[in-house]
Amino acid sequence: MPNWAAVILAAGKGTRMKSKLPKVMHLLAGKSMIEHVLDLVKKNEVERSLVILGHGREKIEEFLAGRAEIVIQAEQLGTGHALMQALPYLDGVDNIVVLSGDQPLIRPETLAELIRIHTDSQGAATLLTAQFDNPYGYGRVVKDGEKFVKIVEEKDATSEERAIREINTGTYCFNVAKLREALRRIKPQNAQGEYYLTEVFDIFVTQGEKITTFCTKDGNEALGINSRVQLAEAEHVLRERILHYWMDEGVTIIDPASTFIGCEVKLSRDVVIEPFTTLKGKTRIAEDVILGPQTTLEDCVCETGCQVAHSVAKKAQIGPRCNVGPFAYLRPGTVLEAGVKVGDFVEIKNSRIGQGSKVPHLSYVGDSQVGQSVNIGAGTITCNYDGINKHQTIIGDNVFIGSNTNLVAPVEIGEGAVTGAGSTITRNVPAYALAVERSTQKLKENWVRNKKQ
Ligand code: UD1
Ligand code: MG
């Protein structure tokens, strides 16, 4: 949008979070609050975002590099003072939208509507409000009939004003020229001795400037996060939004109450999610996949028709029609080609398992390349680590690894070869050979009977 910019206030300390981490860096549905707000701005095609930083700024600055312009408010003297810091950077900008870094639940369509109303009205300011049953702590919007009168903070309000349920969400659009003029005139004469941004409204009213209010229907959008309890409340709201969105898109979620889906996860139609399942990061799930119960996937890709139950996977790629679990652990770099079976108590790391191969039980496969239609017997271990370095195991197509085989890497098992159960394989096995490494079984006939006599 031409000549618009967003200013995001985020210099406050967030004392009540009791955290090393700056407040706006706390995560909601897997994404930091400040990113939620920046994404909201971006979805509205406002190109410039200025973030006002103060407390803990070093930790946020690094994170925001290249994503937003940073403006420092060295001393936190109030929301009005915070916005003053942005003015020198707003030359040539006609209108701004002001948001708070700790209010990440505003919907893109609500902000779009606020911007549209501001553009149409051509007024000095447009204010996003909400109706709260319990408005405690928020600035109240005082009106005379439909006419805007002022915003009064909780600490400065009379008991009559405190009864007002329409609150200031802290999200506004301003005409920059008029804002400059008004900010010059505000003074820290209030209960908190701060420069209140809300005081510019008093100045606009005195000057007869046009102020429009827009009340959102969804009060949750105004939720400000000041404490861990509010963080959990916001998480709950966002989680329900995400779950409803995916159900509307054709995903079956058996038990929404025990399902957690991060805001960057992408699902497809006819995916079924069983209870107690968490999907995180940039996980991508194709059609007809069945996930859960009790499954956690982070940054994974699940291709069409695969199933994962009672398992944990991170940065793994699970091919079409694969069957994973119960109790499998797929670590980063795992690639399962089509139709692979990974069963119970199997751990796979940094390995590719070829089409149709099976690792059905109790195995560790690390740093390996496994061909197609391979059967890996129960209890097989790739001994990939010699205490200093990691080494590769290469297994050709149609290999049969007998149960309880140790494959001491680096080692290569040629196509179609077989290893005998219980073998420790330390040398390469040529194609179609049998490798057995174990002592010959001794038999003592009637040993037990003789002993008992
Ligand atoms: C503010 C509004 C109140 C509104 C509420 C909505 C004022 C005076 N009051 O109150 O009407 O109902 O938000 O949540 O504006 N910040 C700075 N620098 C500062 C002070 C604050 O950057 O010097 C930032 C904070 O980090 C936060 C935002 O501004 O992101 C709002 O500040 P906060 O102290 O939470 O204001 P409230 O008291 O909640
Ligand atoms: Mg606040």
Any atom of ligand 1 within 6 Å of the Cβ of 12: yes
Any atom of ligand 1 within 6 Å of the Cβ of 51: no
Q: Cα 413 to chain center, whole Å?
A: 41
Q: How far is the CA of 138 from the centre of ligand 2 (A)?
A: 8
Tokens of 234: 């916001």
Tokens 């025990």 — which residue?
A: 258
CA distance 339 to 408: 27
Distances (CA, A) of 105 to 115, 219, 230, 265, 279: 17, 10, 12, 18, 20
CA distance 233 to 196: 27
Tokens 């005081």 — which residue?
A: 199
Any atom of ligand 1 within 6 Å of the Cβ of 104: no
Instruction: Domains for the chain: give ranges and CATH numbers.
Output: 4-222 (3.90.550.10), 235-435 (2.160.10.10)
Q: How far is the CA of 165 from the centre of ligand 1 (A)?
A: 18
Ligand 1, pocket-test mutation among 26, 52, 100, most atoms within 8 A of CB: 100
Catalytic annotation, pick one of 118, 244, 310, 361: 361
Q: How far is the CA of 218 from the centre of ligand 1 (A)?
A: 20
CA distance 216 to 117: 13
Question: Would you state the pLDDT for residue 2?
Answer: 64
Give the CA angle between residues 111, 117, 119 to the nearest 5°: 100
Ligand 1, pocket-test mutation among 79, 102, 156, 226, most atoms within 8 A of CB: 79
At what angle are helices 57-64 and 33-43 packed, to 10 degrees? 40
User: Could you tell me which residues are beta bridge partners of residue 401?
Assistant: 376, 419
Question: Would you state the pLDDT for residue 347?
Answer: 98
Any atom of ligand 1 within 6 Å of the Cβ of 199: no
CA distance 75 to 68: 21
Q: Catalytic residue at 361?
A: yes
Q: How far is the CA of 335 from the centre of ligand 1 (A)?
A: 48
Whole-prediction pTM value? 0.93
Any atom of ligand 1 within 6 Å of the Cβ of 98: no
Give the CA angle between residues 216, 217, 221 to the nearest 5°: 60
Ligand nearest to the CA of 197: 1
The residues, any chain, with a CB within 8 Å of residue 416's CB and separated by 6 or more, are 396, 397, 398, 399, 431, 432
- How do the pLDDT tens digits run along the chain, 453 residues long? 669 999 999 998 888 999 999 999 999 999 999 999 999 999 999 989 999 999 889 989 999 999 999 999 999 999 999 999 999 999 999 999 999 999 999 999 999 999 999 999 999 999 999 999 999 999 999 999 999 999 999 999 999 999 999 999 999 999 999 999 999 999 998 888 899 999 999 999 999 999 999 999 999 999 999 999 999 999 999 999 999 999 999 999 999 999 999 999 999 999 999 999 999 999 999 999 999 999 999 999 999 999 999 999 999 999 999 999 999 999 999 999 999 999 999 999 999 999 999 999 999 999 999 999 999 999 999 999 999 999 999 999 999 999 999 999 999 999 999 999 999 999 999 999 999 999 999 999 999 999 988
Any atom of ligand 1 within 6 Å of the Cβ of 300: no
Q: How far is the CA of 188 from the centre of ligand 1 (A)?
A: 14
Contact 380, 407 (CB under 8 A): yes
